[in-house]
Structures are given as C-alpha cells and as structure tokens.
Amino acid sequence: MKKINVYMQKLRNLPVHLCFVLGFLVCSNSCKDFLSVDDYFMNMTQLDSVFQRQDLVDQYIRGAASYLPNEGNLWTSSSNPFQGASDENFTSWNDNRHAAIRYLLDEVTPFSSDYNNYPNYYQGIRKANIVLSRIGEVPDISDIDRRDYMGRCYFLRGYYMYLLLLQYGPTPVAPDEAFDVTADVETIALERATYDEVVDYICQNLEKAYEFLWDTREASSDMNIPTKSVALAVMSRVLLYAASPWYNGNPFYSDWKRKSDGEYFINQREENSKWGEAAVMAKRLINTNKYKLFTSPKETDTPVLPVSVAENIGEATFPDGVRVKDIDPYRSFAYIFNGEVPRLLNDEIIYSCTPSTTGDSPLWIAAPYQLGGGNGLNLTQDCADAFYMKDGCDINSSSSTYPYPQPGTPASYNAIGNSGQAAFSGYQLRPNTAGMYKDREMRFYATMGFCHRFWPGTSYTGTDEALKNVEVTYYSDGTAAPNQNYPEDYNRTGYTCVKYIHIEDNLKQSAAVRPKSFPIFRYAEILLNYAEALNELNADFTDLATGITVQSRDETEILSAFNQIRWRAGLPGMTELPDQFTMRNLIKRERQIEFMCEGRRYHDLRRWGQDAMEAYNRPVRGMNVKAKLNARKDFYTVTTLTSYFPRLARRVFTWKNYFCPIPKTAMNKNNKLVQIKIRDGNESIRN
C-alpha cells in the first residue's frame, strides 16, 4: 500500500502526455498502459535519462520530428491528400495506397481512417514541449547547441500547427504548459482556435525558431533539418494564405462561431493589411540574399530563344549577375527536381525532404511497365493547356510565328516528323509526336509526359533492350498498354508527370534511381508570394517589428519578382504593370504552371475561394486512350472522361471540401470540438 501511495503522489504531477485531451487521448499506448503504473515509471526513468546526454536529446528531437509527413511521396502512400486530391490529376486506382482520390469522388467522411494525421501532429507538439521544458537539465551541451535544439522544437511546434491548419482549418492550440492531472476532462478539453489565432501561434513559434536556429546546415545528413530561412519561408506561406479571400473576411462562415465567446472561426472583416504582412515576410527572406533561382548554363544544344523573347529580355540579368540569354531554360527547370544537381548545390531549395525511390516514388506511379512502373498517374488536359507556347503566348491566342493547332485539325494530331527542333537540352522530341505538343515552353517538356514521349531509362544494363529507350504511347494497343497480370495499370488521360524523373531512372535496374530532394519550399515560391501580396496591397504598409516598408502595387518590385520566374523559363517578361485584376490572374497562372504537381495547387485553389469550386466542377478531360495506334485522329480528340471512367474521373466538390473533417474518433473524445457548418442550399452540418 505504501508503494501505491508513493506512486499516486507522483501521479499528481504527471505531465500533459498522459491526460491532455485535444480530441485524442494521449496515453502511453492505450488505456491499459495508463493503468500500468510500473510501466509508466519505467518510461519516465528512460525519459529522465534522455536529458542527461546531448546525443540522446538530439535523438529525441529527431523522434519528435518523425511525425512529419514525407511530402515528396506525392501520390502513393502519401501522408496527406494534397497532391492526389488536386484538380491536376487522378490515380488509376482507388485503394488505400492512393486514398486521395476518395476526396475527388466524395467518399470521405469523419469516419474515414485515411490521412488521420490529427493525433500524430499533436504528439509531435507534445514531444517538442517536453524538450523545451527540460532542455535546461542537459549537462553536456554548449549554449549554441542548446539554442539550436530549442529552435528546432519551436519550429516543430509551429510546423505541426501549420500542417493541422492546412488539413483541418482552425484547430485547438495546445498549451505550452501541462495541465494538472487532477483537472477534469471538461477543463482540459479545448475548443478550436480561430484561424487567425492559429496563424498567430504558428508565427510566434517560428519567430522564436528564427531567433535560435542555425543559419546553415553544412552536413548533407542535416540538410533536412530547418534553418532560420526555413522559418521565414513557412511564415511567408502561412501569412499569404491568411491574407487570401477564403480566410480573410469570408461571409460564407458567418454562422460558424466558437461557443464559449462567439468568436468567428474565420474573421468576417477583410483586412487588406494582411497582404502587407505577407509581403514583408517574403521580403525578409529575399533580403537575406541566401537564395536564388537555380539556373543551368547555356550549352551547344540549348534552344535558341524566339526573336520576340530575345528582344523582350535584352541584356536582362538575374540578381546574381547571370545574363538571361546565357542560361538553358529546360535544364534550369528540370534539374531542380530530377536529381541531376545535388541538394547542396541547389541554391533555390530552402527546405526539402527525401522522397522514396522505389514503389512509393513519383517515378513508380508515372513510369510504364517496361521501366518497372505502375503507369497509373493521370494528368488532365487542363494541365497541358495551361502551359504557354515558347514565345509566351497562350495556346488560345498563339502567334503566327508559333501557332497552336486547333483541336481536331490534322496539324494537331499529325506527327511533326523531323521538322523544327527535334532535340534540345538533352531532350528528344520524337518524330511521331503530335503537332499539339510542338513549340511549347520548356516547363511543359520538363513536367508533362505525353504520347510518344521518349523515356531513356539508361541505367538499365541488362540484355533486354525493350526495358530502356522506350517511346511511350498511350493508345489502347500502345507501348504503355497494361500488363495482362495487372489490367488496371494503365494511363487514362494520355498525360503523366515527369517532373521527378531523370533520364537514367529505371526501376528495372536495382538501385538505379537517382536520389532526389523534394523542394517543400523553394525560392520561386517566395518570389511569387511577394508579387501576389504586393499586387493585392491597397495601401503602403510598414512592419513595426522589422521596420520594413512595402508599397502598394509597387511596379518595380512586382515585375522584378514575376519576371525572374518567366525569364528562367525562357519566356518574355512583363514590361509594365497591368491592372490589379489582370496581374492577379497572371500570377495565378504562373503559380499553376511553376508549381504543377508540387502539392501547392490544392491549397491555392481553396485559399482563392471560388476558384476551387470552378476548377473542381469542370469536366475532367484528356486524350481518347480507347483509340488504337492506327486511329491517331481519334486518340488526339480532347475527350470528357467521366463517361469512360466514371469510377475514377468523376469529381464532386462542394462547400464542405475546403477543409478535411476532424476525425470522428477525435470528436468523440472532446465534446467541445465542432465540425464546420456547411450551407449547400439546405442548412446542414457535416458531422
């Protein structure tokens, strides 16, 4: 009995990780573990020993970061639905490995178990809190390392809340200090914070992270650990989203309030100054002069710029002094993603992770059977149509110099033969390529896989020559037709994503896939964040904390940021700033192209508001993959795919789809949590 009394006395001082309720019960593993007092004190003894050695603290922080998703596994076994549920694509399977398609098909409810990140992200916050509360106990650590460890934990607190905000919208903010374990559930159960309160919490923690984190990480093994700049990049994105129409003065959520104090979860009064805050944050990162757009030098096979583009660019240079005319636009974009350039040598990537190189990789889902792939990623016709012609003209208003063929005409589906530039920058445009894919901008070729695209897969060293140098065709009897053992493994639209694929990559050859770094944040985003925020800013804004002032619709700054993206792609820049509406749409288009299949489109459409409703409710179109090789005209007919593939290409997007539902398991454990109230013509609540 005395032993039990001692235990119970100690239980009164248990930390948050045994009893804190945010909509999940954070026991050791289960309620049975909670009742196992001996097990608890064994674990506590182990935790006490962690803070006696620096190396163990470092391991513990890495463990706290283990709940972070691998954001580079975009489609297969992904940790979030953001790319798989984008309007850019759909997968050829509706299964647990590709569950994001269920968001497109309206098969997700609060009872769904897919992408249940809610408890894991709070677990990560809890572990970061433990380190911050006990870091002072570590005896063998220098002040500089202690500060960095603290910075990493502040970063984790902010980043996990950022991830919760992206997926679920306003969610409870965990207190930094543990509740007393004698508190009742009603006391420790928390309501959702408002969207703005979550943003404030994220930025407060990331500002602390910025204060403590190191400036650089020199070791390649530490490249995925955040630095000061990463904290700024996250805040740049968060503040841009917070300034956007769906989260800033949106009357749609006028009846969604917190019960305790009546606060709106989404503020009801638009604050234009939020664009100023977003612009300042982007400017802070730009001013570090640590990052620049990646460029690859011009080579003998670099394509010649169209005359109109060359005249527009003139002698323009990037901030580091490189002349725009002296770069290779295709390699400059492709090498960011395909592993040609090591992460340490890429000054555009601010924060990255390492995606899979096997069965969960972007290579596997996109590549045909011959290269060991699943051939099950389908990009839409809208993706293909978004890219410009090589002279910067839209396909619907192309120039006489580089005309885009009208769909259905012989010029659109006939093979280009050997006319024009068949090879450039190490890329081969095959003679059988349809005319509709000729003379497109370089990002098109670095992003889109299409019928008759050449897949080298040169790392294969076996004797079967059919397993490399494949000209992939998506006709029903083409080279990418499904293997008889896997009849569902075929492309449904005639388009896939090649952004993360190197010419050497071949899954048929063991360990022959180039390692890649997926850019979670890259400098191109910061430039477009800056341009967008300035374009939307209706009055000059000064940040009192930093003293940085940004001017409303500053023409010089907007065009400087915007044109860098265009020039790097080999396109003409803007010579003068158009009206706000026109520039807004140009920036949206540039983000769509530049960040295609990087997980950004999902959030951009939602934060812009009505854009999501329009994009997701357009019919899903692609090529007619039911056609055979001898019916090119039929294949290259833009086809609405809903009737062909209703189980995959059907789309449903309503007001409820702007946020994911908090899982029902969490709702059951916290009666203060409420789902978002949805108005869809009939007053209804999703629960």
Predicted confidence at residue 185, as pLDDT, reads 62
Integer Cα distance of 294 and 333 in angstroms: 8
pLDDT digits (tens, 9 = 90+) for 149-167: 999 999 999 999 999 999 9
Least confident span in 13-27, 60-74, 352-366: 13-27
Domain of residue 65, residue span:
1-69+117-193+654-687
Q: Tell me, yes or no, whether 664 and 629 share the same domain.
A: no
SS3 category, 328: coil
Radius of gyration of the chain (CA): 26
Domain-located, residue 680: yes
pLDDT digits (tens, 9 = 90+) for 652-676: 999 999 999 999 988 888 888 888 7
Q: Kindly tell me if the per-residue pLDDT of 8 is higher than 60.
A: no
Domain-located, residue 6: yes
Integer Cα distance of 286 and 282 in angstroms: 6
Domain-located, residue 294: no
Integer Cα distance of 41 and 23 in angstroms: 25
Reported confidence tier of residue 24, pLDDT bands at 50, 70, 90: very low
Predicted confidence at residue 182, as pLDDT, reads 57
CA angle at 270 for the pair 265 and 273, rounded to the nearest 5°: 115
Predicted confidence at residue 521, as pLDDT, reads 98
Predicted confidence at residue 502, as pLDDT, reads 97
Domain tally, the chain: 2
Phi, psi of 683 (to 5 degrees): -65, 120
pLDDT digits (tens, 9 = 90+) for 384-424: 999 999 999 999 999 999 999 999 999 999 999 976 567 99
Q: Tell me, yes or no, whether 667 and 629 share the same domain.
A: no
pLDDT digits (tens, 9 = 90+) for 532-587: 999 999 999 999 999 999 999 999 999 999 999 999 999 999 999 999 999 999 99
- Name residue, tokens 């463990």: 63
Phi, psi of 278 (to 5 degrees): -65, -40
Q: Kindly tell me if the per-residue pLDDT of 20 is higher than 90.
A: no
Q: Are 167 and 115 in contact (CB under 8 A)?
A: yes
Predicted confidence at residue 680, as pLDDT, reads 53
Residue 11 neighbours by CB under 8 Å, 6+ apart: 37, 181
Domain-located, residue 469: yes
Integer Cα distance of 571 and 192 in angstroms: 46
Residue 289: burial class (beta carbons within 10 Å; 0-12, 13-18, 19+): exposed
Q: Tell me, yes or no, whether 136 and 172 share the same domain.
A: yes
Q: Tell me, yes or no, whether 625 and 667 share the same domain.
A: no
Predicted confidence at residue 421, as pLDDT, reads 62
Q: Tell me, yes or no, whether 419 and 487 share the same domain.
A: yes
Residue 34: burial class (beta carbons within 10 Å; 0-12, 13-18, 19+): middle
Give the CA distances from residue 344 to residues 11, 175, 220, 362, 515, in Å, rounded to whole numbers and listed in that order: 48, 37, 7, 22, 13
Whole-number percent of the chain with pLDDT over 90: 82
Q: Tell me, yes or no, whether 660 and 631 share the same domain.
A: no
Q: Kindly tell me if the per-residue pLDDT of 19 is higher than 80.
A: no
Q: Kindly tell me if the per-residue pLDDT of 189 is higher than 90.
A: no
Domain-located, residue 676: yes
Q: Are 563 and 575 in contact (CB under 8 A)?
A: no
Reported confidence tier of residue 485, pLDDT bands at 50, 70, 90: confident
How many CB atoms lie under 10 A from the CB of residue 406? 12
Q: Are 82 and 602 in contact (CB under 8 A)?
A: yes
Predicted confidence at residue 178, as pLDDT, reads 61
Predicted confidence at residue 177, as pLDDT, reads 79
Predicted confidence at residue 6, as pLDDT, reads 41
Q: Kindly tell me if the per-residue pLDDT of 188 is higher than 80.
A: no
pLDDT digits (tens, 9 = 90+) for 38-85: 554 445 558 889 999 999 999 999 999 999 999 999 999 999 999 999
Integer Cα distance of 559 and 577 in angstroms: 7
Q: Are 620 and 642 in contact (CB under 8 A)?
A: yes
Q: What is the mean pLDDT of residues 79-102?
A: 97
Residue 316 neighbours by CB under 8 Å, 6+ apart: 323, 324, 563, 567, 573
More confident residue, 29 or 398: 398
SS3 category, 274: helix
110 is written with which tokens?
Answer: 């609060």
Mean pLDDT of the chain: 90
Predicted confidence at residue 74, as pLDDT, reads 98
Integer Cα distance of 268 and 287 in angstroms: 33
Reported confidence tier of residue 683, pLDDT bands at 50, 70, 90: very low
Q: Tell me, yes or no, whether 634 and 663 share the same domain.
A: no
Q: Are 202 and 235 in contact (CB under 8 A)?
A: yes
Q: What is the mean pLDDT of residues 518-543?
A: 98
Domain-located, residue 536: no
Closest CA to 355 of 525, 501, 164: 501
Q: Kindly tell me if the per-residue pLDDT of 513 is higher than 60.
A: yes
Q: Looking at the DSSP assignment, which residues form a beta bridge with residue 257?
A: 264
Domain-located, residue 312: no
Q: Indicate the residue type of 14.
A: L
Q: What is the mean pLDDT of residues 493-513?
A: 94
Q: Looking at the DSSP assignment, which residues form a beta bridge with residue 455?
A: 470
pLDDT digits (tens, 9 = 90+) for 283-340: 999 999 999 999 999 999 999 999 999 999 999 998 889 999 999 999 999 999 999 9
Q: What b/e sequence results for 64-89 when a residue is b if at least 16 CB atoms lie within 10 Å of its CB, and e otherwise?
A: bbebbbbbbbbbbebbbbbbbbbbbb
Integer Cα distance of 428 and 404 in angstroms: 20
Residue 38 neighbours by CB under 8 Å, 6+ apart: none
Closest CA to 677 of 115, 169, 197, 199: 169
Q: Kindly tell me if the per-residue pLDDT of 180 is higher than 70.
A: no
Q: Kindly tell me if the per-residue pLDDT of 89 is higher than 90.
A: yes
Predicted confidence at residue 511, as pLDDT, reads 78
Q: Kindly tell me if the per-residue pLDDT of 372 is higher than 80.
A: yes
Phi, psi of 521 (to 5 degrees): -135, 130
Q: Are 672 and 191 in contact (CB under 8 A)?
A: yes
Domain-located, residue 97: no
Q: Kindly tell me if the per-residue pLDDT of 194 is higher than 90.
A: yes
What is Dmax (Cα atoms) for the chain? 93
Q: Kindly tell me if the per-residue pLDDT of 615 is higher than 50.
A: yes
Q: What is the mean pLDDT of residues 340-354?
A: 95
DSSP 115-177: T--HHHHHHHHHHHHHHHHHGGG-SS--HHHHHHHHHHHHHHHHHHHHHHHHHHSS-PPPPSS
Residue 665: burial class (beta carbons within 10 Å; 0-12, 13-18, 19+): middle
Predicted confidence at residue 570, as pLDDT, reads 97
Residue 171 neighbours by CB under 8 Å, 6+ apart: 118, 161, 164, 165, 192, 193, 198, 662
Predicted confidence at residue 200, as pLDDT, reads 98
Q: Tell me, yes or no, whether 5 and 152 share the same domain.
A: yes
Q: What is the mean pLDDT of residues 609-616?
A: 96
**What spatial distance separates the first Cα and last Cα of the chain, rounded to whole Å?**
47
pLDDT digits (tens, 9 = 90+) for 618-640: 999 999 999 999 999 999 999 99
Closest CA to 64 of 119, 129, 146: 129
SS3 category, 518: strand
Q: What is the mean pLDDT of residues 463-474?
A: 95
Q: Between the ranges 42-51, 107-116, 188-197, 449-458, where is the mean pLDDT highest?
A: 449-458
Integer Cα distance of 502 and 513 in angstroms: 8
Integer Cα distance of 333 and 598 in angstroms: 13
